Amino acid sequence: MIDFKALKSGTDVRGKALGEDARLTEEAAKIIGAAFVEWLQQKGIVSPKIAIGRDSRLSGEALLDACADGMARAGAEVTAFGMCTTPAMYMSLLTEGFEGDASVMVTASHHPSDRNGLKFFLRRGGITSGELDEILAIAENTEVSDSYSGDICSKEFLPVYKEILKDRIRSGLDTDVLCPLTGLHVVVDAGNGAGGFYAEMLQEMGAWTEGSQFLDPDGRFPNHIPNPENEDAMKSICDAVKKVGADLGVIFDADCDRAAIVDRNGREINRNRLIALISAILLDKDPGCTIVTDSVTSSGLSKFIGEWGGVHYRYKRGYRNVIDEAIKLNEAGVNCPLAIETSGHAALRENHFLDDGMYLVTVLICEGMRLKQEGKDLSDLLEGLQEPAESKEIRLNITAEDFREAGRNAITHVMDYADSAQGWRIAPDNREGVRITFDMLGGMDNGWFLLRLSVHDPVLPLNLESDVPGGVKLMADALLKVLEETDGIDLKPLEDFVNG
């Protein structure tokens, strides 16, 4: 018996796909594929046209075939792209000659090689959490037909997507020359995911890519985790850039919806630095615009965006939350060209607010080329970005049976305490959990923590940041005393940090 609800992760299907205890099996993928078609038919799309692709994971080909089979048996006209990226799967719905009603990407993003998943897209963008609930509810009662009322064909889309990126480079540099990146040296690290073709694309545009690594798809991910937030992965690309003296390096996760870059000195530009860099580029062209980020961005980033003439708008964690809020702001008349998470998920208005790390990197490479022609470097744009002296993330497990209620109670208790506690200030842009700012060690507004409820798990993630040495422990100790008055929270990780 397949527990379809257990496969839900936010707006995606995700689960272990290899081994005896695999949950996302070929049978599950086939049934979910058929259920997706039935859900589309209930929305009035009688014979849906659906594209499907996959990243390099070992289970990807089998799951793609199974899902495609289920969709075709349920009446869909299925086009299998084979190896692809998540952003390309959505872009195919908007591209002439490929326009479909929906698409599916078989990927588990940066997660371990034995995991896999399914992402679903409509022409308006990714499906919502509630819509996935509807699809999985249908799956629980779906019997896949023994015969086909649809069809499956194969077609490539990555070459088309590559041309879209080339067009962006030419428009970004305001040129129609054949090789506009001549003279730029870029190291590409695809982490053995689906993004290895990007190095070839840069070469075709004139860039030098000596030193690029892990371009061949390999679902075992033998060299490092394909994750721009992973310390080993970032060290690998930093070392590669320094070894060959490149102008910059780029690194993708397995399905290329997230990315980070490295400057010519081997310094990683991810998280707050990445947000600051793309914000500076956008604000230079569009002064006064609003940048939407997730809730754990730094105080230094807010100051940086303000100094560039922009407005920093923090919102809830979760890339769909950030994107949807940016779209709402634009609909309300707020000029908001960017939605970006510290994880590297980034969506630009110019690109349909599509969560596309590869497109983001392409924009940055254009700016890097322009600056090199002026004798400058991308990192020059980060001058003035205040970096914290200390930062720490601690995850507190919620032990109560009703973990959401216990988590909300803990957050409310901290917020109530902060209302009257001397030196505690609830941040004015507090839109998730509780964000408290502090004046410490003779300074002003030089530390903060954010306590929030995880999107999916029974966990309270705690992020702390201080501009002065020792500040993080001071805040952690103060918070521990407050949380000791709450129930259902395992405080040992916080106690260990404070007492360590």
State how far the Cα of 371 lies from the Cα of 485, in Å rounded to an integer. Answer: 54
Number of neighbouring beta carbons within 10 Å of residue 485: 10
Residue type, 334: V
> Tokens standing for 363?
């924009």
Q: Are 241 and 248 in contact (CB under 8 A)?
A: yes
Interatomic CA distance for residues 266 and 259, integer angstroms: 16
In sequence order, the 6+-apart residues with CB closer than 8 A to the CB of 430 are: none
Let me know if 109 is a catalytic residue.
Answer: yes
Q: How far is CA 423 from CA 336, 417, 435, in A?
A: 33, 11, 13
- Residue 340 forms beta bridges with which residues? 293, 346
**Rounded-to-integer distance, Cα 217 and Cα 254, Å:** 9
Q: Which amino acid is at 371?
A: L
* H-assigned helices in 205-270: 231-244
Cα torsion for 291, 293, 295, 299, to the nearest 10°?
-50
Q: Which two tokens stand for residue 266?
A: 């081997």
| Cα–Cα distance, 55 to 65 (Å, whole number) | 13
CA distances to 21, 55, 87, 111, 400 from 221, rounded to whole Å, are: 21, 12, 21, 10, 37
Residue 206: CB atoms within 10 A of its CB come to 16
Identify the three-state secondary structure at position 340. strand
For 404, list phi and psi in degrees, rounded to 5: -70, -40
Residue pair 315/324 in contact (Cβ under 8 Å)? The answer is no
DSSP label at residue 277? H
What single DSSP character describes residue 342?
Answer: T
Per DSSP, the residues of 420-472 read HSTT-EE-TT--SSEEEEE--TT-SS-EEEEE---SSSSEEEEEEEESSTTHH
Identified catalytic residue from 103, 109, 299, 379: 109
Question: Which positions are annotated as active-site residues?
Answer: 109
